[in-house]
Amino acid sequence: MRYNLFRVGALATCLGGSLFAASHRNGPLLLEDQTANLNDFYLFRSYEQGRSDRLVMMMSAQGFQVPDNGPSYYKFSDSVLYRFSLNNSRGLDGNPDINIDFNFKTTLRQNSTFLSYLGPITSIDSQGILLYQTYSVIVRNMKTGQTDYFETDVHGHPLSVAPPNLGPKSTPNYEATLGQPSVFTLANGMRVFAGPRDDAFYFDSGATFDFLNFRAPAPVLSGGADSGPGPAFPNAVDGFAGYNISLIAVEMPITMATANGSMPTDTKDPNAHIGAWASTNRQIVTVRPSPNDPVNYGEYVQVDRVGNPLTVEALIPLPMKDYWNRSLPANDAQFAAFIGDPFFASGILNGVFGLKVPPAPRTDLLGVYVPDITRIDLTIPPTPLASQQRLGPLAGDNAGWPFGGRRIGDDVVDIGLRALAGVLVPGFSNVPPLGDGVNSNDIPNLDHFPFNAAPHAGFSHSQQDGTNGRGKDTSK
């Protein structure tokens, strides 16, 4: 019995290390293009009080931002087109029906300092924001051709990027004065946000990359370690704690996202099911007439994308990652051989350890990852933040990944690990309960738009206290 438990533990460790090594590093070429490097994509019905008839989409980019990395802090790229794509018809074939584009513009205000921000900054209109970014939102219906452009909110204020959280002296009371005021309402009823936020993804990346050196109770969880959020990091360390990301968020009426403009109430209604993904795009030609600034020409082409979590990190072989990033979801059938017969199941679980796994082709995985779009059943009501289960449908909370979209609190590492082991296939079980031991974000997420917590403050950040994986909140 003891030997069998050891085998299961070793198996889970090997699988966890090789499959779920998500690290926000999506391919070799993107290591050289971090402003276009997407990390996570989220899609869910809003659980903000009184707004359950809204759909939320969010993308994060440029991960592992060190909060005190001044004087040139992180920014969105003016040469990258950041795009949300919605697929609401044709059986969700991976072709977009609605595109929502974000284009950024940087203005360097006249000053004689070497700084990007000069405090105290007490409003989003402060002249101390010396590196000032604004953006435009373009909503395009791909079927009708209708295109709407927005550069200001309903009050005529420019859509501006929230500045970084420098600390209590430079950016006092950050969330009230700079974070929430950077949420803008558009004339079409959408709400938008762009700016730095806490990275809500959580995973013991350090243990994984140290040759699968997991910390107890991982990788086989039990009792309190597997129920609810569990103890706050009893041993495991969240490798993303204390870091910020660049977040773009959209909230829209559900009626704006469905093919017929309805609010579906019956899951059998084809309009009740939509899919979505995020991508970054660059113009096909860049000329660098040094010492002048680069000039970009031509149509936009995709350089990165993200639909479901862990696809490119876990299921796509390294030599194909860059090609996959540039490919469109509608063409994902070309990757079905890797997803429908994953090496991690056949080669490790079955081939090495002799564990019975579902036979190929894995229709359960193909149904999630081909095409690689996050799917949501719009008839599933949102679960209030306090009642959400990190394991989503595996814990009876269907408003989470992979059936009810993906929320920022969903433990996609543990869900994905168990899915690969066959939990979504009738006749297979999720015993033992596999996981990495990190069961929640390092700091509490918000219950309102844009849902990610405020960015960690540069002044409060340190390697010991700011990025220690154990939940110290430096966003204040």
d(CA 325, CA 331): 12
Give the residue from 195, 209, 267 showing the smallest Cα distance to 21: 209
Give the residue from 247, 254, 252 showing the smallest Cα distance to 451: 247
pLDDT tens for 154-201 read: 999 999 999 999 999 999 999 999 999 999 999 999 999 999 999 999
d(CA 230, CA 435): 12
How many residues make up the chain in this entry? 476
Residue 7, pLDDT score? 36
% of the chain surpassing 70 pLDDT = 87
Cα torsion angle, 288, 294, 298, 303, sign:
positive
* Residues 437, 214 contacting (CB under 8 angstroms): yes
| 38-45, strands of its sheet edge to edge | 38-45, 54-65, 244-253, 191-198, 184-185
Residue 314, pLDDT score? 75
Q: By CB neighbour count within 10 A (0-12 exposed, 13-18 middle, 19+ buried), where does 448 fall? A: middle
How far from the centroid of its chain's Cα atoms is residue 442's Cα? Answer: 16
Please compute, for residue 219, the number of CA atoms within 13 A of its CA located in the half-sphere on the CB side.
30
Higher pLDDT, 296 or 225: 296
Beta-carbon contacts of residue 272 (< 8 Å; ≥ 6 apart): 264, 265, 266, 377, 378, 379
* Residues 294, 302 contacting (CB under 8 angstroms): no
Q: Which residue has the tokens 């299921």?
A: 315
Model's pTM, two decimal places? 0.93
pLDDT at 401 over 70: yes
Q: Find the largest Cα–Cα distance for the chain.
A: 72
pLDDT tens for 319-367 read: 999 999 999 999 999 999 999 988 777 765 566 545 577 888 999 999 9
Q: Which residue has the tokens 């998500």?
A: 22
Q: Which helix (H) or strand (E) holds 86?
A: strand 81-87
- Using CA atoms of 15, 21, 22, 25 in order, give the dihedral in degrees to the nearest 10: -150
Q: By CB neighbour count within 10 A (0-12 exposed, 13-18 middle, 19+ buried), where does 297 fall? A: exposed
Q: What is the CA radius of gyration of the chain?
A: 22
Residue type, 50: G
Q: Which helix (H) or strand (E) holds 259?
A: none
d(CA 409, CA 392): 9
Give the residue from 59, 55, 439, 410 showing the smallest Cα distance to 245: 59
For the record, the structure tokens of 322 come out as 């860059």
pLDDT at 226 over 90: no
Give the residue from 192, 197, 200 showing the smallest Cα distance to 100: 192
Q: Which residue has the tokens 């090997």?
A: 14
Q: What is the DSSP string of 204-236?
A: -HHHHHTTS-PPTTTTB--GGGTSTT-SS-SS-
pLDDT at 467 over 60: no
Residue 431, pLDDT score? 64
